[in-house]
Amino acid sequence: MKLRLLVVGRGSRELAEFESRFDQRLRPFADFQVVELPEGRAKQPVQRKQEEAKQILTHAGKGFILFDERGALLESVKWAAHLERQAGNAQLDFVIGGADGVADEVRREAAACWSLSKLTLPHQLVRAIVLEQIYRAFTIIQGHPYHRV
């Protein structure tokens, strides 16, 4: 399986070690890549989101999952079930928008929209959480003791 995490903007230096750890842990389970997309440069949030939407929609494959505060709240076990349903050579993209969120057309093009919390989270923190949850999903599939209930 090929997984990509498409993120608008750069990661946080403070979270880089955490992300690196989970990036390495994911290697046995999937061909995994983080792709950083440029942030919009416009002065107005609406225009920035439009610039970022072009980048997202150019890079994201069909069937991508968008992380958005308006999305469905799923338990880790449901993430695992979703990954397990993918074919062995499938490519699945996860998308994290920029600090202003995403344009409506990105939301419309997404196959699914998931939320991590009812809280509004900084997109750099969302990136770290998503990495850990993808790893957790694979450990659930494998019956690994990492996921404790």
- Whether the per-residue pLDDT at 149 is higher than 80: the answer is no
Please enumerate, by residue number, every residue annotated as part of a binding site: 97, 116-121
Q: Report domain extents, the chain.
A: 2-142
> Does residue 44 have a pLDDT over 70?
yes
Domain covering 2-142: architecture: 3-Layer(aba) Sandwich (3.40)
Mean per-residue pLDDT, 49-53: 97
Known binding-site residues for S-adenosyl-L-methionine equal 97, 116-121
CB 39 within 8 A of CB 48: yes
Residue 90 confidence (pLDDT): 87
Distances 97 to 69, 102, 108 between C-alpha atoms, Å: 11, 5, 14
Residues of the chain with pLDDT > 70, as a percent, come to 99
